[in-house]
Amino acid sequence: MQLDRLLQKHGFGTRKGCRGLVRNERVTVNGEICTDPFAEFETSGLIFTVDDIVWPYAEFACLMLNKPSGYECSRKPLHHPSVLSLLPLPLRERGVQPIGRLDEDTTGLLLITDDGQLNHVLSSAKRKVPKVYLAMTKHAVEQDQIEQLLNGVLLNDEPEPIRAAACEIAGSHLLRLTVTEGKYHQVKRMVAAAGNRVEALQRESIGDLSLPGDLAPGDWRWLSAVDLKKLGYLL
As annotated, the active-site residues are 103
List, in order, residues 6 or more apart from 144 with CB less than 8 Å away: none
The rounded distance, in Å, linking the Cα atoms of 181 and 126 is: 9
- Burial pattern 67-76, b for ≥16 Cβ within 10 A else e, equals beeebbbeee
Residues 114, 94: contact at Cβ < 8 Å?
yes
List, in order, residues 6 or more apart from 32 with CB less than 8 Å away: none
Residues 181, 86: contact at Cβ < 8 Å?
no
